[in-house]
Amino acid sequence: MKRIATLILSLACLQAAAQLPPQNPAPAAAQNQPATQYAAPWFRYYSDGRAVVKRDSLYGFVDRSGAEIIPCRYNKAYTFNDGIAMVRQGYEVFAIDTLGNRLDLKVKIPQFYNRDFEYFVRWVCSRLPFVSDNEYRQLRSEVVNAVITIGKDGRIASCESVTPCDPRALGKVRGVAMNSPAWSPGQVGGAPVEIRYLLPVDFRHLQPLKCYPVDAQGRRIHRDIVYPLFQGQYASQFHSWFFRNLRYRSGEYQQAASGIVRVAFTIDSKGKLRDIEILRSHNDMCRLKTLETLKKSPKWTPGTIDGQPVDVRYETSFKFHYR
């Protein structure tokens, strides 16, 4: 049991990892098939001399020579450690050895908000807005490949880069990951274990906040700005406040529906939220609740140009979910 207490489950993330640059790229694969048969480019994170690859939406393993030693037949695959890897076929998760033989081990992978690792990757990326237009230009091409350690208590204990990157980009990823809510810890044989994942974050897929400075008449000013802050944090944190403060009177909840409300508003030079505009709404009740909630917003830290506060027009969306 001890030999798998630090089991590495580096997730071969379909949407994120498939975009990352290769590490230690392997030659042609087994059976004289070219390496281009696999999803490429692929970030090859080797452990126990094995790396996860994807072909035709299924996952398998290659060795350092590029030979496909375990066929691509799994819906999901996690890297080896101490001769053991976790894989998923359908909804079943189980362990295999280096030859692909199934092992009689009861395993449970950690979950974040009752979801798998792909959700955590998206969660981290959604909380990585840029501080300013200038920072966006400087970091927009960065790629961070970080190994995170999920402790037995479900908290992330470390986040370290395994490929070269800008320290500022790594700092952003580390800040979000280390302060994330606790996971449901992984288990082996019913006992919690420490687990490590490979967290790939491609800054090329991130976008700056959709906001820009405006003059007293609401006309756009074409200047670089430092973006407004909400309660000392990135503006994306405003969404958490919004849904915590969403209130329904008797009978109103039943009139709401799942969908998206797109809004625009101005954060003026004194930090007040004003000039609310509903750009798109799927439901009249959600439209009404959005207006009511935004009017209750506490003051922001205003955006600035050359250190001077300015009015900033900001656009965002609120996703309503109802069962």
| pLDDT digits (tens), the chain, 323 positions | 444 444 434 333 333 333 333 333 333 333 334 444 665 444 567 878 888 888 888 989 998 888 899 999 999 887 787 788 888 888 888 889 999 999 888 888 889 999 888 899 988 988 887 889 899 999 999 999 888 888 899 999 999 988 889 999 999 999 999 999 999 988 877 888 777 777 889 999 887 778 999 998 999 999 999 999 998 877 777 988 999 999 999 989 999 999 999 999 999 999 999 999 999 999 999 999 999 999 999 999 999 999 999 999 999 999 998 86
Strand 92-96 to strand 102-103: parallel, antiparallel, or no bridges (unpaired)? antiparallel
| Ranges of H-type helices in 52-132 | 117-126
Supply the pTM of this predicted model. Answer: 0.69
- For residue 217, is it left (φ>0), alpha (ψ between -120 and 50) or beta? alpha
Extract the tokens encoding 32: 């004289």
Q: What is the DSSP string of 245-260?
A: T----TTTGGG--SEE
pLDDT at 26: 37
Nearest to 225 by CA among 298, 143, 136: 136
Tokens linked to 249:
């009177």
Q: Using CA atoms, how far apart are residues 4 and 306, in angstroms rounded to an integer?
A: 54
Give the integer Cα–Cα distance in Å for 14 and 219.
Answer: 42
Sheet of 143-150, strand order: 156-161, 143-150, 195-202
All domains of the chain, ordered by start, with CATH?
1-208 (no CATH), 211-320 (3.30.2420)
